[in-house]
Amino acid sequence: MTLHFYIARKFTLYLLGILGIFGAIMALIGMVEELRDFDLGQIGVGGALHLALLKVPGDLYTILPMVTVMATVALFLALARSSELVVARASGRSAMRSLVAPVAVALVYGVIAVAIFNPIIAATSREYDSVSSGYKGQEASLLSVSSEGLWLRQGSLSGQTVIRAARADARATRFYDVTFLAFDAEGNPAWRIEAEEARLRPQGWDIRNAKRWNFGDGIDNPEARAVVSPQLVLPSDLTLARIRDSFARPAEVAIWDLPTFISGLERAGFSALPQRVWFQMELAMPAVMVAMVLLGAAFTMRHVRFGRTGTMVMMALGLGLGLFFLRNFAQVLGENGQIPVALAAWSPPIAGILLSLGLLLHLEDG
């Protein structure tokens, strides 16, 4: 157990050290990029640093598998140079037993990353979008989904209009059981429309079987003056692209809230396939980190006197990078519906683990 704790502590130090280095580099690069994205005087150095720091956690979380394989390579190179692996094997400990500590640590850190850091990163990502939109003078989001249906918001010089629909079609162009509630520039209710169906067209909302109530001064009984129309046209600046862009990205929803969010999307009539793929890939994150540890160890658990250390390190990093891109490619295929969700999320880490175990058994145990 003493040796396991020693190896686990060294692996943790290397992992945190590499994360810190990449975090500092990303913060500097991100600050420069934010200064370039905004006009002169629109944002200062402090604001750019604030946005960069909000973005860094998500970027680090994305490259966490690659950081894991780098930390594994650094760990076993250090153990090989100090001959600690030779001593461990001379005492009767096999190569597979020496992997117990880093594999267990990677598994635990993967669970912690998904259970704790995923919600934190989702919050920082939402805050980044909100702050960035505030600097640009734009609305951060136009659409939200809840148990009551979906809600849209559109604005004009005369005021804001809130739109609620019980459900919509998959393309988000046709909405059913719709309510429009308009507010004037002072925030007072101006009018209300309830309709069976509303279609989003280039000229605005094409509303069918609608009933409109007007509010305001001098109207004591809106129901008495309500107007029923078979068809209405309501101007709007909303487009299909803007509505789709308003959907929260899967990474901006905490993993604990994803099942409810997915249910709400499907109940509203939208496809939740990207969210389902993301949810399964987050559940597979611990397995991905274990695969990265095994890949890194398969090429670096050799003594330095055997030579070709640089080649083995490059092969370990290359295979780790290949598994990283394979995982992203499988995610794209899953989101497009070309392969099942479970296959997209779990096949890359399982393939990486099996490949690494085969290499380890061949190279280390004959």
pTM over 0.85: no
Tell me what percent of the residues of the chain surpass a pLDDT of 90. Answer: 29
pLDDT of residue 147: 65
pLDDT of residue 304: 57
Residue 348 near residue 324, CB atoms below 8 Å: no
Q: Which residue has the tokens 């659409």?
A: 143
pLDDT of residue 13: 94
pLDDT in tens, 279-335: 999 999 999 999 999 998 888 876 656 567 778 888 888 999 999 999 999 999 998
pLDDT of residue 266: 75
Find residue 302's DSSP bridge partners: none
pLDDT in tens, 114-132: 999 999 998 888 888 778 7
pLDDT at 239 over 70: yes
